Amino acid sequence: MDPIYLLYPAALMVGTAKGGLSSIGSLAVPLVALVMNPVTAAALLLPVYIVTDWVSVALYRRHYSAPNLKIMIPGMLAGVALATLMVTIAPEALLLILTGVIGLWYCLRSWGRALLKRPQPDATRPALIPGLGWSLLAGVASYITHSAGPPTQAYLLPQRLPKLEFAGTIALCFAVVNLSKLPGYWLAGQFDALDWALLPGLVATGVAGTALGRWLTGVLPQAAYVRVIEALLLLLSVILLTKGITGLIQP
């Protein structure tokens, strides 16, 4: 299959995520990696992530959790720095599996509690040690696979933030973190073989997706919004697990 038939849907997913439905953007690289090298896919989509990040920041500039940003941004930047050093030696398959397990664990825990009719625990609050731990993992996963959604949401969703505050916090974190990837990608030569002629169309598709995601976030009720995020997180986690296990079996 020609990669172009998956690149544009992937760019639309990235934009929709930046508009507020955060998990769906992390499906983009695994989708394109079905037909091309995942490192090349991540590098090709990085400009789309960066442009739509800042569109998203403009949309949510008044809605964010400052205490979480103070914890998450340093943790994610540390994760990007760590991933830059380990990218040549860390098996990508193991990282995909770990990221998928985190997302699957969160969904099963949340839905299992609902099925068993257990009362929801009290909402958590921003906390330094858990926040840094999840954010470090998110930074590593973001650099290698653009799959920071599961660890980020495992930390933020239990806080039960208002939907706009949740979306804005993620938008600001990812805007900073995706920019921080550029030096590492450039030095590693991951932009050398890209088809730059594709980028304007992909970026425009991503920006259109951002508007779509912002509209969906505005019209969905809070409870439905959380369920949509969890459903997308589950789908992403299954894809990551499948890809990771396949990579271990067939290196």
User: Residues of the chain with pLDDT > 90: what percent?
Assistant: 38
CA atoms lying within 13 Å on the CB side of residue 149: 32
Give the Cα separation of 47 and 44 in Å (integer): 7
Please provide the size of the chain in residues.
Answer: 251
Give the Cα separation of 43 and 62 in Å (integer): 30
Q: Provide the pLDDT for residue 93.
A: 81
- pTM surpassing 0.85? no
Identify each DSSP E strand in the chain by its residue range.
none
Which range, of 1-5, 67-71, 159-163, averages the lowest pLDDT? 1-5
Q: How sure is the predictor about 21, in pLDDT bands with cuts at 50, 70 and 90? A: confident
Is 1's pLDDT higher than 70? no
Give the Cα separation of 84 and 14 in Å (integer): 22
Give the Cα separation of 247 and 251 in Å (integer): 5
